[in-house]
Amino acid sequence: MLVIRPIAMSDYDALHTCAVESGHGFTSLPVNEELLTNRIQHSEYSFTKDGVTEPGDEGYLMVGVDSETGEVAGCTGVEASIGWDVPFYSYHISTVVHSSPKLGVNNVVKLLTFGNNYTGCSEICTLFLRPSFRGGLNGRLMSKCRFLMLAEHPHRFSKTIFAEMRGVSDDEGNSPFWQWLQEHFFSIDFTMADYLTGIGKKGFIADLMPKLPIYINLLSKDAQAVIGQVHENTLPALKLLEREGFTCRNYVDIFDAGPTVECDARNIESVRHSFRSKVVIAEHTSADDYLISNTSFENFRAVATKAAYDQASDSVILAPDVAKALQVTQDDYVRMLSL
């Protein structure tokens, strides 16, 4: 059984392995000891921070752990409010019309406009599941556990939740979109730019990025073709978020032009349909699958498991090993989502 819990410093080696395996383009997991260590320390601070009444600089990073072997299967996270300490940049795709009635010319063209439009929003991020654990309910657990957290502790997160989706790049980490930018504005390759962003060295973006809107039809054909497209490995994650109600509002990443998707927290399907239930600990034979989390924040736990829910009594029967994994006892409450 896979159990989601807050990351701890003892998970450093496993997080480093995830960073290596995630490959190029996974900005939030740089292969850098200092940055990964800082990420863990900041998450530990965030989970234990008292008196939080609104989203701030908190960053919550969690790992999925095999309850039998103790092996870390992957990681997943939420940033409470981005863009305050380190700028968060994106491109917005807009449309303008160049028209001349006298000449009978009416051209519709699209622009990329540089900006910081997601400042203050909460970001779901750093979702990575190691290949040997992909299958069954693990992927849905790693993604949807964050929505149970949002539903149970809404005051810690903003009204708008967004996610940056990894854009198109090849096995060597080359991005067609970045190659055009590199040729005209930069002198560093995509992997270096991606790495510098991951370790927080974003000053070069503001220094070198074109400040005026870019006409998309002036880009190379290869660059135009990947705007708003996702890496093939990211397609399942995008489909899952789209089913949750996330949609692209014409914002894309400034490096690989991957789409940014967003949703009002209250309208996320898993938030809307999750519910609380009182725990009864006993063996059962139910065949119904649920995503279940405890109601603690500092000691957050979540699993995907079979459970027997009784609507009449608003209670759920959990097997003893599931209750132990969730760190709940008889008559405690859990948050549930039917799968």
Q: Whole-angstrom Cα distance, residue 28 to residue 31?
A: 10
Eight-class DSSP state of 255: T
CA atoms within 13 A on the CB side of 109: 15
Q: Whole-angstrom Cα distance, residue 259 to residue 246?
A: 11
Closest CA to 178 of 252, 260, 94: 252
Q: Whole-angstrom Cα distance, residue 97 to residue 107?
A: 6
Q: Whole-angstrom Cα distance, residue 7 to residue 62?
A: 5
Q: What kind and span of H or E run contains 7?
A: none
Q: What angle do CA 234, 240, 241 make, to 5 degrees?
A: 90
Burial of 101 (0-12, 13-18, 19+ CB in 10 A): exposed
Please give the backbone phi and psi of residue 9, each rounded to the nearest 5 degrees, phi first.
-60, -25
Q: Which residues contact 27 (CB under 8 A, 6 or more apart)?
A: 164, 194, 197, 198, 255
- Could you tell me which residues are beta bridge partners of residue 108? 97
231 is catalytic: yes
Q: Whole-angstrom Cα distance, residue 28 to residue 20?
A: 12
Catalytic pick from 16, 42, 155, 231? 231
User: What interhelical angle do 138-152 and 235-244 show, nearest 10?
Assistant: 40
Q: Which residues contact 83 (CB under 8 A, 6 or more apart)?
A: 116, 118, 119, 120, 121
Q: Whole-angstrom Cα distance, residue 293 to residue 335?
A: 5
Residues carrying an active site annotation: 231
